[in-house]
């Protein structure tokens, strides 16, 4: 059966890819083939068959995947080399598409996904499923991609690239709108653990999954073991930073990132965000000057070091959470973040970004733009089309009330959102920005018992907040 292609399109759209994939699901994308006696296939680092006759293509692909899965720069060059060695290497094309998506280069990512589909005739069942799932993810059809990921992992438990789609806070699971997405991640990696053993990449994510489900004492040693086997893994370092935060070990967290980041390329996708974590630790440990310097040199919007989503999250959060602690930010800094939000996010989209857009606008005192943002969020909520509502809209409305000085109203809205807070996605450390807003709202509206209740539930938040209020 020949795979359907997208005719007459040099730059396919997400809708094109989605339509072709739905046809692919009905018709079947691959031909089951008997492996000829004595024929050997290339394998990836996880022991999965690669349908390419080229050792060079396989080697470049394996190296590129390790770079991609550790959030280091340079994966694209390896995938291009793999495709150069074997233009019909379908997994090389889809890996390139995923790397382009991670950089926010969506038109190129969609084109690479279309090329993967066009090259997919005669590949294995595992590879066809792999391409299908990644293509759905790149086309923005997250629910289809996540459903496929769960089914794929039951059949092919050591497919690391597909598994990575469900791992971490910015994942298909993280943005699924499920309140228990951390628990789902943890259950998934625990089920797969016997298949993975002591693989360093898997250990990092398994440890992080336990950290985010409240079991940091178990998860942190797994992350440490991962880093001992392969230190230059941006995702494992990110997980370790979260473990320090959740355990309240902010001085150790600052020391860890100060020591680890110099060996990580500044072009690495997590360099700005890990610098945000370092700035958060610095705030807790009393070094406001260091925290502000990290913003200025590593993750402010004008630097252009991240795609818009990540930029508005880190910059918006830092400015807002600094102000909540009574730390005045330079007007130029908060205005820059607000202008960036207005430029890049005309309409609300992913709930987690929507909350941080509200932070950026509120911090700058741009009440008109904030009102329009909240109104658009409310309209989206009424349509019933957003999986993170009502929590996301309640939070944005709460931030608006806070910015206008209605602290009692803000506390009421944010407390209503609190039970469903995980639905917006992100990590506990990031969502603590919402809880900090609730705490300050409660204190300013003479509700100390509510503030204490929130603090009592979050060790990491207590450690951060105690340092800020002590000054």
- pLDDT score recorded for residue 22: 63
pLDDT level of residue 349 (50, 70, 90 thresholds):
confident
Regarding whether 358 and 236 lie in a shared domain, the answer is no
pLDDT per residue as tens digits for the range 313-334: 999 999 999 999 999 899 999 9
Q: Which domain holds residue 180?
A: 168-247
Regarding whether 149 and 230 lie in a shared domain, the answer is no
Structure tokens at 4: 């359907």
301 located within any domain: no
pLDDT per residue as tens digits for the range 162-196: 999 999 888 888 888 888 889 999 999 999 999 99
200 located within any domain: yes
Regarding whether 321 and 442 lie in a shared domain, the answer is yes
pLDDT per residue as tens digits for the range 373-419: 999 988 887 877 666 778 899 999 999 999 999 999 999 999 999 99
- pLDDT score recorded for residue 17: 65
pLDDT level of residue 459 (50, 70, 90 thresholds):
low
pLDDT level of residue 10 (50, 70, 90 thresholds):
low
What is the percentage of the chain residues whose pLDDT exceeds 70? 88
Buried b (16+ CB within 10 A) or exposed e, 242-269: bbbbbbbbbeebbebbeebbeebeeebb
- pLDDT score recorded for residue 407: 98
pLDDT per residue as tens digits for the range 147-157: 999 999 999 99
- pLDDT score recorded for residue 34: 42
Count up the domains in the chain and report the number.
3
Instruction: Quote the mean pLDDT of the chain.
Output: 89
Answer yes or no: is pLDDT of 30 > 60: no
pLDDT per residue as tens digits for the range 205-223: 999 999 999 999 999 999 9
- pLDDT score recorded for residue 170: 86
Average pLDDT in the 243-247 region? 93
d(CA 321, CA 22): 44
pTM of the model: 0.89
Element counts in the chain: helices (H) and strands (E): 24, 2
Regarding whether 204 and 190 lie in a shared domain, the answer is yes
Name the nearest CA neighbour of 180 among 460, 421, 454: 421
Regarding whether 328 and 433 lie in a shared domain, the answer is yes
Regarding whether 172 and 156 lie in a shared domain, the answer is no
Regarding whether 188 and 46 lie in a shared domain, the answer is no
- pLDDT score recorded for residue 20: 65
> Burial of 228 by CB count in 10 Å (0-12 exposed, 13-18 middle, 19+ buried)?
exposed
pLDDT per residue as tens digits for the range 101-111: 999 899 999 99
Regarding whether 461 and 319 lie in a shared domain, the answer is yes
Name the nearest CA neighbour of 223 among 161, 214, 209: 209
Structure tokens at 340: 């960036």
Q: Which residue has the higher pLDDT, 1 or 462?
A: 462
What is the percentage of the chain residues whose pLDDT exceeds 90? 75
Q: Which of 102-116, 185-199, 446-460 has the lowest mean pLDDT?
A: 446-460
Regarding whether 38 and 138 lie in a shared domain, the answer is yes
Regarding whether 437 and 312 lie in a shared domain, the answer is yes
pLDDT level of residue 24 (50, 70, 90 thresholds):
low
pLDDT per residue as tens digits for the range 250-285: 999 999 999 999 999 999 999 999 999 999 999 989
Q: Which residue has the higher pLDDT, 96 or 172?
A: 96
Answer yes or no: is pLDDT of 471 > 70: no
Last residue of a domain, one of 165, 195, 217: 165
- pLDDT score recorded for residue 467: 40
d(CA 47, CA 160): 10
Regarding whether 349 and 243 lie in a shared domain, the answer is no
pLDDT level of residue 144 (50, 70, 90 thresholds):
very high
Q: Which residue has the higher pLDDT, 313 or 26?
A: 313
Answer yes or no: is pLDDT of 33 > 80: no
203 located within any domain: yes
Regarding whether 138 and 173 lie in a shared domain, the answer is no
Answer yes or no: is pLDDT of 142 > 60: yes
Q: In sequence order, which residues have a C-beta less than 8 Å from that of residue 109 and are 6 or more positions away?
A: 97, 98, 100, 101, 138
Task: Decide if 127 contacts 91 (C-beta within 8 A).
Answer: yes
């Amino acid at each position: 059966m020949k795979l359907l292609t997208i005719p007459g399109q040099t730059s396919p759209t997400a809708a094109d890819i989605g339509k072709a994939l739905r046809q692919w699901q009905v018709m079947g994308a691959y031909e089951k083939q008997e492996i000829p006696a004595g024929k050997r296939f290339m394998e990836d680092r996880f022991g999965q068959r690669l349908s390419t006759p080229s050792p060079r293509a396989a080697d470049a692909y394996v190296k590129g995947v390790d770079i991609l899965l550790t959030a280091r720069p340079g994966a694209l060059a390896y995938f291009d080399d793999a495709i150069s060695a074997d233009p019909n290497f379908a997994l090389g094309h889809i890996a390139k598409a995923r790397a382009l998506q991670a950089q926010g280069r969506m038109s190129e990512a969609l084109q690479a996904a279309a090329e993967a589909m066009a090259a997919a005739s005669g590949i294995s069942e595992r590879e066809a499923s792999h391409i299908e799932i990644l293509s759905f993810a790149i086309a923005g059809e997250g629910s289809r991609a996540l459903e496929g990921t769960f089914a794929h992992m039951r059949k092919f438990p050591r497919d690391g690239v597909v598994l990575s789609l469900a791992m971490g806070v910015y994942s298909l699971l993280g943005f699924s709108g499920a309140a228990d997405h951390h628990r789902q991640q943890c259950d998934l990696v625990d089920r797969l653990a016997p298949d993975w053993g002591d693989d360093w990449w898997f250990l990092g994510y398994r440890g992080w999954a336990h950290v985010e489900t409240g079991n940091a004492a178990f998860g942190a040693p797994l992350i440490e073991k991962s880093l001992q086997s392969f230190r230059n893994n941006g995702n494992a370092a990110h997980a370790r930073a979260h473990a320090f935060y959740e355990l309240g070990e902010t001085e150790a967290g600052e020391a860890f990132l100060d020591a680890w980041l110099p060996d990580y390329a500044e072009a690495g996708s997590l360099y700005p965000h890990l610098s945000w974590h370092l700035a958060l630790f610095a705030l807790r440990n009393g070094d406001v000057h260091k925290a502000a310097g990290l913003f200025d040199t590593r993750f402010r919007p004008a630097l252009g070091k991240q795609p818009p989503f990540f930029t508005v999250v880190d910059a918006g959060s830092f400015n807002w959470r600094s102000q909540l602690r009574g730390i005045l930010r330079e007007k130029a800094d908060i205005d820059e973040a607000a202008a960036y939000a207005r430029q890049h996010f005309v309409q609300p989209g992913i709930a987690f970004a929507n909350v941080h857009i509200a932070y950026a606008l509120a911090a700058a005192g741009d009440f008109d733009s904030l009102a329009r943002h909240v109104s658009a969020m409310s309209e989206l909520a009424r349509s019933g089309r957003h999986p993170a509502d009502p929590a996301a809209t309640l939070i944005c409305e709460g931030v608006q009330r806070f910015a206008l000085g209605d602290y009692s109203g803000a506390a009421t809205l944010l407390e209503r959102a609190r039970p469903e807070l995980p639905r917006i996605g992100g990590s506990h450390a990031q969502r603590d920005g919402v809880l900090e807003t609730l705490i300050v709202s409660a204190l300013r509206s003479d509700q100390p018992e509510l503030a204490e209740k929130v603090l009592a539930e979050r060790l990491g938040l207590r450690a951060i907040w105690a340092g800020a209020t002590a000054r």
